[in-house]
Amino acid sequence: MNHKCILFTGGGTAGHVIVNLALIPYYQQHGWQIEYIGSKNGIERKLIEELGGVTYHPISTGKLRRYASIENLKDPFKVLKGTFQAARIIRNTKPSVIFSKGGFVSVPVLLASKLTGVPAVIHESDYTPGLANKIATPFAKKVLATFPETMDYLPAKKSEYVGAVVRDELFQGNREEGLAIAGLNKEKPVLLVMGGSGGSQKINETVRGSLPQLLSAFQIIHICGKDKVDPTIKYKGYVQFEYIHKELKHIFAASDYVLSRAGANAIFEFLALQKPMLLIPLSLQASRGDQILNAKSFAKKRYARVLEEEALTAESLMKELDHLREYAPIMIDMMKQYKTESAKERVINIIKQAQKK
């Protein structure tokens, strides 16, 4: 094919962009024209524009809410507008295939893929499919799963288990550089605290309220979310960041343990890097329960320990972190048995097979 063009979509959270970030460098290295459809102000725009060499197209998007809101009445019209915008972009750029990571921005793109006759491949990271991917699945040629258990929730004829796609760059981190970025030393192990791309108020508050006890055992790198840094907190061995992107590989390399939400992409990265983790999944009150299932799957395979948000207190946090340190050698042994190297190659091959001829 003389015209090599691929269109990516996905957004709303960093988790709906990470796999795209892992795949895009391959297509850049092989001379492809790369287009990306995302929302106007979503986190995906910042992450993709930082890459360079990718044309970003913002479109109108709705929001797939699970609660009553007057905005729900407007969303079908936003999705319809976004569908026509996406169809126009597809016709102008002429991609041979579309790859979708999900999120509400992907729904109009998948509708447009059907309208324009361009095959689409969907990637689902969570244990059960998200609402956007459920809506988009009928319009896709192929649906890929990260958890083997997810295959029970997908149409058998068009679905395939591929495993976790992890960014190559994360394996290139340097521990010393990470410690230098954080201003930490080698005297105590490092606990990395992450609450998802938007941060977590409950995790932030509990960690900050427990700092005297936590710092007796750990140094702490706290990625706390946009506008959630508290400049009044001054403790030796405790450092805060709103968000880390380019230097994340070094921060991961510097970390001995992880305290995190249970978003699928993040926890599979910790698994690939063999980082013992304590997971605090989003509660059912704040989500559809996907993180709870993700966390339970990891705990069953002894990759992680789990602390439910409703049970999160300063006391329970310290108790679970003590258990995490105790069981870390077992976790690392189990993690060593997980192989992720072939997942990206499998996805690339499936995208190639799906291309419009």
- pLDDT value, residue 1: 47
Question: What confidence tens digit (pLDDT) does each residue in 163-183 have?
Answer: 999 999 999 999 999 999 999
Same domain, yes or no: 294 and 346: no
- In order, the DSSP letters of 45-88 are HHHHHHH-S-EEEEE------SS--THHHHHHHHHHHHHHHHHH
Q: How sure is the predictor about 155, in pLDDT bands with cuts at 50, 70 and 90?
A: very high
Question: What confidence tens digit (pLDDT) does each residue in 27-63 have?
Answer: 999 999 999 999 998 889 999 998 889 999 999 987 6
Residue 135 has pLDDT above 50, yes or no: yes
Q: How sure is the predictor about 342, in pLDDT bands with cuts at 50, 70 and 90?
A: confident
Please state the rounded mean pLDDT for residues 152-165.
95
- pLDDT value, residue 226: 85
- pLDDT value, residue 175: 97
Q: How sure is the predictor about 197, in pLDDT bands with cuts at 50, 70 and 90?
A: low
Residue 212 has pLDDT above 90, yes or no: yes
Tally of domains within the chain: 2
Same domain, yes or no: 221 and 298: yes
Mean of the per-residue pLDDT values for the chain?
92
Please state the rounded mean pLDDT for residues 322-335.
97
- pLDDT value, residue 122: 97
279 within 8 A of 295, measured Cβ to Cβ: yes
Q: What is the DSSP letter of 340?
A: -
Question: What confidence tens digit (pLDDT) does each residue in 246-282 have?
Answer: 899 999 999 999 999 999 999 999 999 999 999 999 8
Closest CA to 106 of 139, 74, 128, 73: 139
Closest CA to 104 of 138, 73, 62: 62
Question: What confidence tens digit (pLDDT) does each residue in 63-83 have?
Answer: 655 555 556 566 778 889 999
Same domain, yes or no: 236 and 272: yes
Distance (Å, rounded) from C-alpha 202 to C-alpha 208?
Answer: 10
Same domain, yes or no: 295 and 347: no
- pLDDT value, residue 73: 63
- pLDDT value, residue 188: 96
Strands (DSSP E) along the chain, which ranges?
5-9, 33-39, 55-59, 97-100, 120-124, 142-145, 159-161, 190-194, 219-223, 238-241, 257-260, 277-279, 304-306
Residue 20 has pLDDT above 70, yes or no: yes
Same domain, yes or no: 275 and 220: yes
- In order, the DSSP letters of 114-175 are HHHT--EEEEE-SSS--HHHHHHGGG-SEEEESSGGGGGGS-GGGEEE------GGGGG--H
Same domain, yes or no: 133 and 233: no
Residue 187 has pLDDT above 60, yes or no: yes
Same domain, yes or no: 198 and 145: no
Same domain, yes or no: 161 and 32: yes
- pLDDT value, residue 71: 62
- The Cβ of residue 302 has, within 10 Å, a number of other Cβ atoms equal to 13
Same domain, yes or no: 175 and 239: yes
Same domain, yes or no: 193 and 311: yes
The four Cα atoms 282, 13, 202, 178 give a dihedral, to 10 degrees, of: 110
Same domain, yes or no: 236 and 93: no
Same domain, yes or no: 190 and 111: no
The four Cα atoms 38, 42, 46, 52 give a dihedral, to 10 degrees, of: 0
Residue 230 sits in a domain whose CATH number is 3.40.50.2000
Share of the chain above pLDDT 70, in %: 95
Closest CA to 272 of 222, 318, 338: 338
- pLDDT value, residue 246: 85
Beta-strand relationship, 190-194 and 257-260: parallel
Domain with 180, as residue range(s), is 171-335
- pLDDT value, residue 348: 96
Q: Tell me the whole-structure pTM to 2 decimals.
A: 0.87
Rounded to 5°, angle at Cα 283 from 302 and 269: 40
Closest CA to 117 of 90, 85, 136: 90
Dihedral (CA of 309, 311, 314, 316) sign: negative
Q: Amino acid identity, residue 65?
A: R
Please state the rounded mean pLDDT for residues 113-138.
94
- pLDDT value, residue 357: 73
Please state the rounded mean pLDDT for residues 119-143.
94
Please state the rounded mean pLDDT for residues 318-324.
97
Please state the rounded mean pLDDT for residues 332-350.
90
